[in-house]
């Protein structure tokens, strides 16, 4: 296959989607935190907790793309509001690497509702509400691979 064909049709095997299963997770810094100027402080906490950034971009989701990303929640009463909120401003998307990445990152960000989040967690410090809760974190290795590939092709991340 020539180089052009490779770029047009990147190979998407389990290995390219998640080359080191169990060691990567996906995160977004959500519009509330980005708008408040907290992206740098949050990335600093992420690195201080031992995560390496292996892909990173600032972008903005359309309502349709936010709807696709959160499709699993389409039956939940907050789905429409969530899609509007997630497309209301710029976000940062990133793939992070660490041993036990998914679970350790969920611990670092804290509970969905900042009122229930442990002291010192990212959501406790930065979240404004249960909806505008500063950060996303994948809930499984499988979803981490799917979500990372939603935002980054294989040439936009450290392999």
Candidates 3-11, 32-40, 90-98, 127-135: pick the segment binding ligand ADP (CB under 6 A): 127-135
Q: How far apart are CA 151 and CA 26, in angstroms?
A: 10
42, exposed or middle or buried, with CB in 10 Å at 0-12, 13-18, 19+? buried
Our CA angle for 80, 140, 106, nearest 5°, is: 80
Residue 122 interacts with ligand ADP (CB under 6 A)?
no
Residue 127 interacts with ligand ADP (CB under 6 A)?
no
Mark whether 136 is an active-site residue.
Answer: yes
Report the residue number, 43 or 86, with the smaller CB distance to ligand ADP.
86
Candidates 6-14, 47-55, 130-138, 143-151: pick the segment binding ligand ADP (CB under 6 A): 130-138
- Beta-bridged to residue 135, according to DSSP, are 29
**Shortest Å, Cβ 70 to ligand ADP:** 7
Question: Catalytic pick from 30, 98, 136, 157?
Answer: 136
């Amino acid at each position: 296959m020539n180089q052009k064909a490779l770029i047009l049709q990147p190979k998407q095997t389990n290995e390219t989607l998640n080359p080191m299963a169990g060691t990567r997770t996906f995160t977004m810094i959500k519009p509330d935190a980005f708008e408040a100027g907290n992206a740098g402080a949050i990335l600093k906490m992420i690195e201080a907790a031992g995560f390496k950034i292996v892909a990173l971009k600032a972008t903005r989701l359309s309502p349709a793309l936010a709807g696709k990303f959160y499709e699993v929640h389409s039956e939940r009463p907050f789905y429409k509001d969530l899609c509007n909120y997630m497309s209301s401003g710029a976000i940062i998307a990133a793939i992070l690497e660490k041993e036990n990445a998914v679970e350790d990152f969920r611990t670092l960000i804290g509970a969905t509702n900042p009122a229930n989040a442990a002291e010192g967690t990212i959501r406790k410090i930065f979240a404004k509400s249960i909806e505008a809760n500063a950060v996303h974190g994948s809930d499984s290795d499988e979803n981490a691979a799917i979500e990372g590939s939603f935002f980054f092709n294989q040439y936009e991340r450290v392999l």
